[in-house]
Chain A
Amino acid sequence: MSKHGRHSSPYTLDRNIPGAFEGETVTRRRFMTGTAHGAGAIAAASFALPALGFAIGPIFKEAPHTWESVGPTDMFPDNDYVPTVITLTPGIGEAGKTTVYVRKRNPLIDTDAADRDTQFIAISSRCAHLGCPVRWVDAAERFICPCHGGVYDLLGRRVGGPPVRPLDRFYTRVAAGQVQIGPRYSVNSELERFSPRDPGEPIDGIGQFAYPSRPSTRK
């Protein structure tokens, strides 16, 4: 309104605009401009918003929990790891599989909180640095990562290299004499449980807040 100077009025009638109505404050030109822009914005949003939601939807989708049998209970000693293979993502063949190192719980070395979900210790082979596959080296009694030299001890705690936390673990249970591997969880350096994090995300101290649990991996 300021461009009409101090004589301007909010009413179009007072501004001598031809065809103005009583009480009208928006000129037809302004109304048409706004309508055209609004219609354009609605048309653009009608395809842009669904496309955006489609692209970022997976962030908020919770992955289903699965349990997969890996062998009879007597297959796993309590002092050495047995490598087993489970399917993390079905339908994509080899790319969806991962190695899990399994052994029976040993009260002499496993000092973390025991419950019915941790009677067998299942250590993820996914390095906590950037996700390369670690392997258990018997002679060294260490998990060793081939990519950037991460080293973990028998309990999966970091003893060398760049990893920011111990190796992740899986819940285990026994069903019909078979050990089954369930959802993954992460542990901090005290082996306290956290909902699963991605590699490279520390969960000691401020890390648990800087890398919060996400909807897609809620435990």
Chain B
Amino acid sequence: MARTPKLPAPPLPSALKAPPPRPDSANGRATPVDHAQEGGSSVVDWVDERTSLSGAARWMMFRKVPRGTNWFYTLGSATMFAFLSQAVTGVFLAMFYKPDPSGGAYESIRHVTNEVFLGQFVRGMHKWGSSVMVILVFLHMGRTFFFGAYKYPRELNWVIGVVLLILTMTMSFTGYLLPFDQRAYWATIVGVNINGTGPLLGPYLSDFLRGGPEFGATTLSRFYAIHMMLVPGLLAALIGAHLYLVAKLGTTAPPWLKAEKNPDLRETDA
């Protein structure tokens, strides 16, 4: 087999590794079948030779995790998948939504729900998925808190997580107005006025959110732009930073795990 020189193979489980060539196959020369079989890895090699991405992928995915890692450690990934679900369903809902306060917004939502094929399903995923995401965010935060995973050196990741929580709340607040029914309208009136009760700056924050002193023509499009462009970009970028720090710093062992008893590993020179 005339194989091109390759980077070291990733530490895959043996079941996934390519079998060695059989001694009776074409006297060691590459057949078209061999070339076809190598097609996929050739493409990967081609990209990797030009980007060195496999190192980063290996660094990200093949990490050592502490003993005692359990299902609670999946809450962060679950939150991220809830976000991805919101992002995908949101993009498709945006294809139908019209941020028109004089009736068009409500009508477009009604159209999606009642007439578009699978519209009710996709909108339902987005609507209920938002609650799922908020719940998962809080469970993930609780896990981090009770496992002490916010302590040195992971404080910055806690801070990023809190910003992500605030952005998630911003998404919930701005998304709530978009159906533009009575509940959405009055909930937004109340929500904006709650923001306004902050002394000194609160009234200005209300004006900023509404785009003026009264709920007006631009309020809905403002909320829509914040909901579908401003905050999702920030969320995605900060999730990237959050994940980078997780990979960089590693995860913590659960607090109930006893310290290592092996005397060879014990630090004696304090």
| A185-219 vs B, Cβ < 8 Å mask (1 yes, 0 no) | 00000000000111111000000001110101100
- The interface residues of chain A lying within 8 Å CB-to-CB of B158 are none
Kindly count the residue-residue contacts between A and B in the assembled complex, taking CB atoms under 8 Å apart: 87
Residues of A whose CB lies within 8 Å of any CB of B are 55-56, 58-59, 61, 63, 88-89, 91-96, 130-133, 147, 196-201, 210-212, 214, 216-217
In the complex, the answer to whether B194 meets A200 with C-beta atoms within 8 Å is yes
B16 to chain A, nearest CB (A): 47
With A and B bound together, what is the CA distance between A131 and B216 in angstroms?
A: 15
Q: A58-B212, A89-B215 are in contact. Are A147 and B200 (CB under 8 A)?
A: no
- B214 close to A88 (CB less than 8 A): yes
**Contacts A211-B199, A211-B202; is A95 near B189 (CB within 8 Å)?**
no
Q: How many residues of B contact A (CB 8 A)?
A: 30
Residues of A within 8 A of B192 (CB): 131
Would B197 and A200 count as touching, CB distance under 8 A?
yes
Closest 5 CB pairs of A and B: A93-B102, A210-B199, A200-B197, A92-B101, A216-B213
When the two chains form their complex, are residues A92 and B186 in contact, meaning their CB atoms are under 8 A apart?
A: no
Complex CA distance for A3 and B216, rounded to whole angstroms: 59
The CA of A202 and the CA of B222, in the complex, are separated in Å by 28
- B163 within 8 A of partner (CB): no
- B177-216 CB mask vs A (1 if < 8 Å, else 0) is 0001000011001101110110110111011101111111
Picked from B101, B102, B213, the residue with its CB within 8 Å of the CB of A63 is B213
Nearest CB in chain A to that of B199: its residue:
A210
Q: Are A58 and B218 in contact (CB under 8 A)?
A: yes
Q: Which residues of B does A touch, CB under 8 Å?
A: 101-103, 180, 185-186, 189-190, 192-194, 196-197, 199-200, 202-204, 206-208, 210-218
A61, A93, A147, A211: the one within 8 Å of B212 (CB): A61
A147 touches B186 (CB 8 A): yes
- State whether A89 touches B214 (Cβ < 8 A): yes
> Interface residues of A: mostly helix, strand, loop or mixed?
loop
Q: Chain B contacts of A211 at CB under 8 A?
A: 196, 199-200, 202-203
Q: Are B202 and A201 in contact (CB under 8 A)?
A: yes
CB contact under 8 A between A212 and B203, given known A147-B186, A199-B193: yes
A198–B103 touching, CB < 8 Å? no
Q: Which residue of B lies closest to A210 (CB)?
A: B199
Q: Chain A residues near B204 (CB, 8 Å)?
A: 59, 214
How far is it, in angstroms, between the C-alpha of A90 and the C-alpha of B215 when the chains are bound?
A: 11
Tell me whether B200 and A56 are in contact (CB under 8 A): no
B contact residues around A56 at 8 Å (CB): 208
Is the pair B199, A58 in contact by a Cβ cutoff of 8 Å?
A: no
